[in-house]
Amino acid sequence: MNTLVLTVLTLGVLGILLAVILYFVAQRFKVEEDPRIDDVEKMLPGANCGGCGFAGCRAMSEALVNRDNIASLFCPVAGGDTMKTIANLLGKVAPDKEPMVATMRCGGTCDKRPKVNHYDGALNCAVVNTFYVGESACAFGCIGYGDCVDACKFGALKLNKETGLVEVDADKCTACGACVKACPKGLFELRKKWPKNRAIYVACRSKNRGAVVMKACKAGCIGCGKCAKVCAFGAITIESDLAYIDHEKCKLCRKCVNECPTGAIKIENMERLPKEPKVAPAVKSETKAEENK
Amino acid sequence: MKTFPIGGIHPNDNKEWSKDCAIEVLELPAEVRIPMIQHIGAPSTPIVSKGDKVLAGQLIGQAVGFVSANIHSPISGTVTAIDALPNGQGQRRMMVVIKREGDDWVEGVDLSPELKRECTLEPAEIIEKIKNAGIVGLGGAQFPTHVKLTIPEGQKAEVLIINGVECEPYLTSDYRNMIERGEMLLTGVEITMRALGVERAIIGVENNKPDAIEHLRNIIRRDNYRGIVVEPLKLRYPQGGEKQLIAAVTGRQVAPPPALPISEGAVVCNVSSAIAIYEAVQKNKPLVERVVTVTGKSLKSTHNYLARFGTSLNTLLDLAGGLPEGDVKILNGGPMMGRAIVDVTAPLIKGCSGITIISGDEAARGKEMACIKCAKCVSVCPMGLEPYLLSKLARLQKWDMAEEHNTVDCIECGCCSYTCPSNLPLLDYIRIGKQTVMTNIRARALADKK
Amino acid sequence: MATRIFAAPSPHIHGGESTRRIMGDVVLALLPALAVSTYILGLRVLFITAVAVLSCVVFEYLINRLFLKRKSTIGDLSAVVTGVLLAFNLPVGIPWWIVVIGALVAIGIGKMTFGGLGCNPFNPALTGRIFLLIAYPVQMTDWTTGVPDALSGSTLLADVKYNTSLLSEVDFLQMLGGHMNGSMGEIGALALILGGIYLLWRKVISWHIPVAVLGTMAIFAACVGLGKGGELVYQLPLFHILAGGALLGAIYMATDYSTSPMTHKGMIIYGVGIGLLTMIIRLWGAYPEGMSFAIFIMNAATPLINKYCRPKRFGTK
C-alpha cells in the first residue's frame, strides 16, 4: 500500500513540475506568427515544387503575407485565379500573369537525327553533358535520358521511346519551371498557353550554320529566314542561324509553318493552313510588277 | 619503395603493346586544324585571317590574359578557314585550318639535333620564353606551364618534381621520351630548376619502367646533372596525380583545396613538358609537336609518333591499320582518365598523350546493380573520400551535403568506378556533384566580394 | 561487321570485380566447413543446407517477381550465401519446415522488406536464426537429434559457462578439427579459418573486423582468466575463440558488407563492440552463446558508426 501511494505521489509531483517547466519554456520561446500564413499555405497547391522561386509553399506563404508588394510573387501551379483570391484575402494586388506551359524545343526524332555513336555511361543527361555532345551529331538536341522527366513533379513529361524525345502534357503542366532548370541543353521554355493547348514554336535550338544542321538532323532550323519574312506581326527573329518565335507577339496565324523547309516550326492542336501553291507565284509576279513600275 | 599514402588500384598496365615502338616522326599532314583552346583558361584569339601565309612556328593564336596559352602554326602554308569545327567530343570549337605548303620555319628556330646545354638566362627570361612558346602541361591537364612556374608572392619553391610516372595503362609516350630523349629531358629539368631557383629535382618513375630509371641515372652520372635524382616508385594508379606524386616522392601531403602544391614547396612538371621547355628555351622552338602513343589490343600495329598538332586523328588511326570492326571506344589518353572520342576528324591537341583503342567486350560497361556497401570504393579512393556517398548525394541533388563531404577534393581518377563490383557509374555522378558544388562555391565567393 | 563507336565518361575499364564473384567466393570459402560438418554429423547436414539455400533462393525470386514486380536478383548469389549461413547456424537435427520458415524470415523480413541486397540493416541469416531461436527454442538448442553417435545434450559453451573447471578436460586440438557439439557450421574451426584466409587472399573481406572481434574476445577472456587464476589465462581465450559461433560469426557474419561499417576505423570499433558484447552475454547473460545477438546489436549501431567514422581526408592531419 505504501509503495503504491509513494509511486502515485512521485509521479504526480514529477508530472506537475514538468508541466510547469514546459509551460514556461513554451511562453519564453513562443514564435509569433501571422495566422494568415497558414490560411494562405492551405490555398497553395502544396507541391513544394519551387516554381515560385521559394524553397516551398510555406516560404511562399510567408512572403505573400509579409511583403507589401506581391506583384512579383506568383505561383505558376496555382495560377492567376488562386493568386487573385489570395491577394483579396490579404488585401493586396495580385500579379497579372497569363497561364504558361513548358515547351520542349527539339524535333530531332530518332529517324530525323541519326545516332552516330553509342552512349554507354550513366543514363542521365547531365552526365552526358559533362563530356560530349550526345549520341547524335547535333550539339543542341535532346539527349533523351529524361532528367526533365525526373524533375517534373506533376507527371507532365514523358519520354517517347519511339522518337527518343520528351513530350509535354500541356494539361498536366503547371509551368513551375523545374524542367527549364533540369535540362542541360536548355531546351525548355515557358511559353504562353493558348486555349485548347494550341501552340506554334521553333522546335530547334541549334545555333549551327544551315549546312551543319542539315548534316546532323533533318528536322533542324537552318536559319533560312523564310518564316521571319512571312510573319506579319514581327514575331520571328533570326539570331545565330536560329529562328525564334516571340510568344508575346505571335497570333497563331500559321503562315510560318508552311514556309519552313525542314519542318522545324511545330504546330500543335491546330490544322496547318491549306497549301496554296498557285497563289504563291501570283503574289510573286505582282510584287515584280510593282517593282517594275 | 615509395608510393602515395592512401587508396589506389593496380590495373593491368598494358604497356607491352607499344613500349618497344621507337618514336617515329610522322609525315607532315596535308592540312591541320588548330583549335584556339588547347589549355585550361581563356581561349586564345586567332591573329591570322583566311588567305594568310604562315610559317611553321608562327604565332597564330594570341593568349588572352595570364591563364591562357599562345598557339603556333605547326606547319607552313595558307590559312584556308577560321571556323567552328568539331573536336573529339563533337563540340564545335574555333579552329584555324591551314593547308600545308613545304616545311618552312620562322626565323630563329634551331632545328639542329645537337644538345645545347648551357643556359645563362635569368629566371624571368626563361619563364617569358616558356610563355611565348605556348607550353602547357602535356600529361593531359593542359595547364599553362608559365603560370605554374610563376611562384606567388610569399611562397617559395623548394623542389621540382618531374612526373615520369605515366600510371595510365597503355600509354608509353613519356616512357619513349625518357628512353630516347633523356638528354633533352634532363637539360629541360636543369633549365626549369634555374627558372624556379631550386637546387633539387626529383624525377618520379614507376618501377614498371626499370630501363628508363637506369637510363636516366646513367646520363645523370655521365653528364654530371647536379641536384637531379630519379626516384623509383611502386607501381600503383593514380601515382601520376599531382598530389599523389608529391606525397609519393616527398612524403608531404598538400592540404585540401584551395591549397596548391606550392604550399608544400613543390612544383610538378611532366616529362614531355620538360622536353618542350628545353626546346623552347634552348632552341627557340615553340610547342608545335608532341610524342603521341597510338595503341590498343585490337589495332593492326601500335606506334609512338612524333606528330604535329592539328593532325587529324584519322590519319594517326589509319597508319595503325584503321579502326577495328565491332564495338570500339576511342580514347584521348588512357583508359582510366582519357576522354572518349566520337569524331575522328578531330585534330591532335597539346594534351593528347595517346590514342587508345578499346574494343569488344572491354568497350562496354557492365550491368548496373544495387550498391552492396562493400566499401571497396572507400578503400581505393586516393583522396580519402566516400565515393558511394558522394555519388548518391549527386544523384539526389543534395549539393550542400556533397560539399560537406568534400566532393571538390575528387581528382576524377576513376578508381571507385573501376573497383565497384556492382558496376555502378560512381564517378559519372560524382563529377556532376563536383562541378555543381564548384559552381556554387564560385558564386558564393562572387557574392561575398559584392 | 561495322564499327560502332562507344562513348562514356571515364574510367573506360573495369577491374572485373562483381557481386556474383564475391558471393561465389564466400560460398566457396564455406565449403570446407560444410565438408567437415558433413563428415562429423552425417549427410543430413547437406540436406538441411540444401533446404535452406533452395528456400532462400525461391523466396527471393518470388518476392521480387510477385511483390516488387522487378527483375529477379537471384543471379547475384547473395541468397545462396544467406541460405548457407542460415543453415550453418542451425542444429543438424532441426525439422526441415523450421528451416523453410527461417529462410522466409531471413529473406522476406531480413532482406527484401528493406529493398533487397545492400539495403538491409541487419544480417539476413542472423535475422532468420534469431527469429527461430525465439520461436522454436527447444528445436534450436537440441544438439542430439540426428547426430549419429549422440555426443551430449548441451554445447561445450553451455557446459563451461556453469563449470569452468571442465576446461581442463577440453581437448583444443579436437575442437580445431571439429569434434564438438554446436550448429552445423560452427564445429569445424580449422575449416572456418581456412575459408577466412581464402577470403582475405581474394580481398573479399579485410582483416579489420575478424581480428577486432576475435582479439577483443581473447583479451576479454584472458582478463577474466587472470582474475580466476591458474591456467585459465590462456585456456579461456583459446576456448572462447574456438567454441560456439565465434569464428563463423567473426569471419563470415560480422563481415557482411551492407551491415558493417564502411571505413577501417569504423570496422575496428564495430568489431570491438561485437567482441565485448559476445563475451558479456557468454559470461553473464542468459544464453550460453552471444555471437548472434552481439552482431545484431552492432548491426544496429553501424549507421551511427558510419556517420562518425569518416575516412581520413587526403592532406589533413
In the predicted model, what is the mean pLDDT of residues B34-47? 93
Chain B residues in contact with A124 by the CB 8 A cut-off are 428-429, 432
In the predicted model, what is the mean pLDDT of residues A44-51? 83
Do A134 and A124 contact (CB within 8 A), yes or no?
Answer: no
Let me know whether C162 and C104 are in one domain.
no
The larger pLDDT score, comparing residue C137 to residue B363, is at C137
Let me know whether C265 and C169 are in one domain.
yes
pLDDT exceeds cutoff 90 at B26 = yes
pTM: 0.88
Residue B79 DSSP SS3: strand
In the predicted model, what is the mean pLDDT of residues B266-293? 94
pLDDT exceeds cutoff 90 at C265 = yes
Residue C235 domain-assigned (yes or no): yes
Q: How many residues does chain C have?
A: 317
Instruction: Spell out the SS3 assignment of B10-54.
Output: CCCCCHHHCCCCCEEECCCCCEEEEECCCCCCCCCEECCCCCCEE
Grid cell locating B416: 571507385
Chains touching B by CB (3 or more pairs below 8 Å) = A, C
β-strands A188-192, A165-168 pairing:
unpaired
Grid cell locating B78: 595558307
* Cβ-nearest to A130 among B92, B327, B431: B431
In the predicted model, what is the mean pLDDT of residues B62-87? 93
Angle, vertex CA B362, rays to CA B359 and CA B368, nearest 5: 135
Burial (0-12, 13-18, 19+ Cβ within 10 Å), A11: exposed
Residue B363 to residue B367: CA distance in whole angstroms: 13
Do residue A127 and residue B431 have CB atoms under 8 angstroms apart? yes
Instruction: Quickly state the pLDDT bin for C225 (edges 50, 70, 90).
Output: confident
Let me know whether C160 and C132 are in one domain.
no
pLDDT exceeds cutoff 90 at B271 = yes
Residue C114 domain-assigned (yes or no): yes
Chain C residues in contact with A131 by the CB 8 A cut-off are 9
Let me know whether C222 and C246 are in one domain.
yes
Q: What is the mean pLDDT of chain B?
A: 93
* Cβ-nearest to B358 among C12, C19, C315: C12
Q: By CA distance, what is B426's nearest residue in A?
A: A122
Let me know whether C212 and C90 are in one domain.
no
Q: What percent of chain C has pLDDT over 70?
A: 93
Residue B449 to residue B446: CA distance in whole angstroms: 5
> Of C3, C314, C316, C317, which to mutate for an interface test with B (greatest number of B Cβ within 10 Å)?
C314
Let me know whether C112 and C233 are in one domain.
no
Instruction: Quickly state the pLDDT bin for A288 (edges 50, 70, 90).
Output: very low
Do residue C15 and residue B418 have CB atoms under 8 angstroms apart? yes
Residue C11 domain-assigned (yes or no): no
Chain segment B201-248, per-residue pLDDT in tens: 999 999 999 999 999 999 999 999 999 999 999 999 999 999 999 999
Residue A285: its pLDDT value, please? 45
Residue B318: its pLDDT value, please? 93
Residue A134 to residue A14: CA distance in whole angstroms: 68
By residue range, what is the domain housing residue C277? 156-175+206-308
The larger pLDDT score, comparing residue C106 to residue A280, is at C106
pLDDT exceeds cutoff 80 at C167 = no
Residue C4 domain-assigned (yes or no): no
**Short-list B419, B369, B372, B367, CA closest to C124:** B372
The set of residues, in sequence order, having a beta carbon less than 8 Å from that of A8 and lying 6+ positions away, is none
Grid cell locating C95: 525439422
Do residue C4 and residue A118 have CB atoms under 8 angstroms apart? yes
The identity of residue A22, as a single letter, is L
* Cβ-nearest to C9 among A117, A118, A121: A121
Residue C151 domain-assigned (yes or no): no
Let me know whether C135 and C242 are in one domain.
no
Residue C223 domain-assigned (yes or no): yes
Q: Which string of DSSP letters, residue by residue, matches A38-103?
A: HHHHHHS------TTSSSSHHHHHHHHHH-S--TT---TTTHHHHHHHHHHHHT-PPP----EEEE
Grid cell locating C229: 587464476
Do C289 and C157 contact (CB within 8 A), yes or no?
Answer: yes
The set of residues, in sequence order, having a beta carbon less than 8 Å from that of A17 and lying 6+ positions away, is none
* Cβ-nearest to B373 among C14, C21, C258: C258
Let me know whether C166 and C291 are in one domain.
yes
The identity of residue C249, as a single letter, is G
- In chain A the domains, ranked by start, together with CATH numbers, are 36-90 (1.10.15), 100-268 (3.30.70.20)
Query: Burial code of A90-103, b = ≥16 C-beta within 10 A, e = fewer?
Result: bebebbeeeebbbb
Q: What percent of chain B has pLDDT over 70?
A: 100
Let me know whether C136 and C165 are in one domain.
no
- Domain tally, chain C: 2
Chain A residues in contact with B92 by the CB 8 A cut-off are 139, 208, 212
Residue C179: its pLDDT value, please? 63
Do B230 and B216 contact (CB within 8 A), yes or no?
Answer: yes
Chain segment A213-244, per-residue pLDDT in tens: 999 999 999 999 999 999 999 999 999 899 99
Residue B335 to residue B354: CA distance in whole angstroms: 10
pLDDT exceeds cutoff 60 at C277 = yes
**Helix and strand tally (H, E) in chain B?**
13, 17
pLDDT exceeds cutoff 70 at A41 = yes
Cα distance from A176 to chain B (closest Cα, Å)?
A: 18
Let me know whether C293 and C171 are in one domain.
yes
β-strands A188-192, B289-295 pairing:
unpaired
Let me know whether C218 and C126 are in one domain.
no
Residue A291: its pLDDT value, please? 44
Whether B440 and chain C come into contact, CB under 8 Å, resolves to: no
Instruction: Quickly state the pLDDT bin for C229 (edges 50, 70, 90).
Output: confident
The identity of residue B246, as a single letter, is I
- Domain boundary (C140, C164, C192) is at C140
pLDDT exceeds cutoff 50 at C114 = yes
Residue A78: its pLDDT value, please? 81
Residue A290: its pLDDT value, please? 45
Residue B219: its pLDDT value, please? 95
Residue C236: its pLDDT value, please? 84
In the predicted model, what is the mean pLDDT of residues C260-287? 92
CA distances from B263 to B148, B162, B249, B256, B382 (A): 13, 17, 16, 11, 20
> How many Cβ atoms are within 10 Å of B187's Cβ, its own excluded?
26
Residue A87: its pLDDT value, please? 85
Residue B7 to residue A166: CA distance in whole angstroms: 42
Q: What is the mean pLDDT of chain A?
A: 86
Q: What is the mean pLDDT of chain C?
A: 88
CB pairs under 8 A between A and B: 47
Under DSSP, the state recorded for A155 is S
* Cβ-nearest to C312 among B6, B325, B365: B6
B440 beta partners? none
Residue C227: its pLDDT value, please? 82
Is residue C174 left, alpha or beta, with left meaning phi > 0 and alpha meaning psi from -120 to 50? Answer: alpha
Let me know whether C128 and C166 are in one domain.
no
Do residue C7 and residue A119 have CB atoms under 8 angstroms apart? yes
Locate cell 610538378: which residue? B268
Residue C187 domain-assigned (yes or no): no
Residue C190 domain-assigned (yes or no): no
Cα distance from C6 to chain A (closest Cα, Å)?
A: 5
Residue B441: its pLDDT value, please? 94
Q: What percent of chain A has pLDDT over 90?
A: 50
Burial (0-12, 13-18, 19+ Cβ within 10 Å), C97: exposed
Q: Which string of DSSP letters, residue by residue, matches C179-215?
A: -S-S-TTTS-HHHHHHHHHHHHHTTSS-SHHHHHHHH
The answer to ipTM > 0.85 is yes
Q: Which string of DSSP letters, residue by residue, matches B304-342?
A: EEEEETT-BHHHHHHHTT-PPSEEEEEEES-TTTPEEE-
Chain segment B365-420, per-residue pLDDT in tens: 888 999 999 999 999 999 999 999 999 999 999 999 999 999 999 999 999 999 99
Do B45 and B60 contact (CB within 8 A), yes or no?
Answer: no
User: Which of B:234-293 have CB within 8 Å of C?
Assistant: 243, 247, 253-256, 259
A267 beta partners? A200
Under DSSP, the state recorded for B71 is E
Residue B384 DSSP SS3: coil
